[in-house]
Amino acid sequence: QSTTTPVRADGFQVVGTVADLDKNGQLLNDNTAGKVLAIKDPSNNTKVIAVNPTCTHKGCVVEWKQDQNAFVCPCHGSKFASDGKVTNGPADQPLATYITKVEGNEVLVKG
């Protein structure tokens, strides 16, 4: 369980460490204004992608499936590309995304 970190003056909030992202392949953080799921950009290993993993269909929490290169919803099978776009219904709206940056060993997002 990670602790809540404050939103900084520049609007960014720490959601975890690069070390944990490297180790687990993802970071899931509930202690922010919105839920955040951060992954390494599959097309650029040095970048981080972050979405709100709340499925736009009925609100289940999607999971990143590296083998499918997609966020997959366990409830009714919706799939979303790494940029949040729907690739498989029943969801018809994209996942919300965050601006991300890495500073030292910290991963930050801005809503």
Q: Return the number of the residue (40 or 79) whose C-beta is nearest ligand FES.
A: 79
Q: Return the number of the residue (61 or 102) whose C-beta is nearest ligand FES.
A: 61
Of residues 7, 28, 60, 81, which one binds ligand FES by CB under 6 A? 60
Cα distances from 1 to residues 52, 65, 74, 99, 102, in angstroms, run: 18, 22, 22, 23, 21
Choose one: 4-12, 39-47, 51-59, 96-104; the region binding ligand FES (CB under 6 A).
51-59
Q: How far apart are CA 12 and CA 36, in angstroms?
A: 13
Query: Binding string, 69-98, against ligand FES, x = CB under 6 A?
Result: ----x-xxxx-----------xx-------
Concatenated DSSP letters of 46-74? T-EEEE--B-TTT-PBPEEEGGGTEEE-T
Residues that bind ligand FES (CB under 6 A): 55, 57-60, 73, 75-78, 90-91
